Amino acid sequence: MVELQKVNEALNNYIRPQTFPVAVKMVSSASEIPEKARMPKRDLGLTMPVCQGIALARRLGWLMAMGEEDMLCPLGTLTLGLVPAKKKFLDGSFNVPFWVESQEVRAKMNQSLPRLEYGRHSHVVLAPLHRAGFEPQVIIVYGNPAQISRLIQSAVSATGEPVVSSSGGGFACGAEITVPILTDQCQFTVVGGGDRAIAQTQDHEVAFSVPASKVEAVVRGLEDTHKAGLRYPTTSFLMYQAQFPPAFGELMDYLRQSD
């Protein structure tokens, strides 16, 4: 994997994200948590969803670690494999998510929630990329659609294969963390639900996740596509003849006349 400082510099040079890229690592025991990491329940007296932990890393630059005891959202806890997927979750008995039309639909969504193996990990560690003293499994970048399109172009440039993602209007942490770990593929995520209401993700923001194995290729793609002429901010094409109302042409002709 490329040096994280180089990754951070490339993202800042070519993407210019408004918030810090976030390095993510799932760990198997508390002994693997970085010494300076904040844990929501222990250090803040709070429990919170995973998306809020990501927001603290990307907006405030905090190094965060979250285990089952820190979790407020059951869906984030499930997708990271910190609790088991039990029968009444899988059959939609609980009104989570609350915005679908029937238990049958809810069960279908819950059964398709991507999940890491239960019991394999104890905590998720989240850090702004420039502070990550560990090798991340995933790097998450939030940006506007134009910025995310540059990351998609960079991921596609070496393979010609499109970045294929899916969104259910919620469960963003699963799409951002779990899916890249399970598939080893880049993902873009149109976030919704708690990520916007609680983690305060803005209307214009989309997320892009890069698994560790693809980071070097994406950085190389950023450099190569930039050299090829793709830019953020998007370069405007300005070599054309503009058209003005006729009065402007008449005035110009008048001004050019000799007295």
* Measured distance CA(114)–CA(259) in Å, rounded: 79
Please say if the pLDDT value at position 170 is more than 70: yes
Residue 66 dihedral angles phi and psi, to the nearest 5°: -135, 130
Q: For the chain, which residues make up each domain, given as ranges?
A: 4-256
At 171, the pLDDT band (50, 70, 90 cuts) reads confident
pLDDT (0 to 100) of residue 33? 97
Name the residue with tokens 């810090």: 20
Q: Which of 235, 233, 218, 208 is nearest to 157 (CA)?
A: 218
Nearest CA-CA partner of 165 in 194, 195, 190, 184? 190
Band of pLDDT at residue 1, cut at 50, 70 and 90:
low
Comparing C-alpha atoms, which of 208, 234, 186, 229 is closest to residue 21?
Answer: 208
Q: What is the tens place of the pLDDT at every residue in 41-76?
A: 999 999 999 999 999 999 999 999 999 999 999 999
For the record, the structure tokens of 236 come out as: 């405007």
The enclosing H or E element of 38 equals none
- Reduced to 3 states (helix: H, G, I; strand: E, B; else coil), residue 207 is strand
The tens digit of pLDDT for each residue in 99-154 reads 999 999 999 999 999 999 999 999 999 999 999 999 999 999 999 999 999 999 99
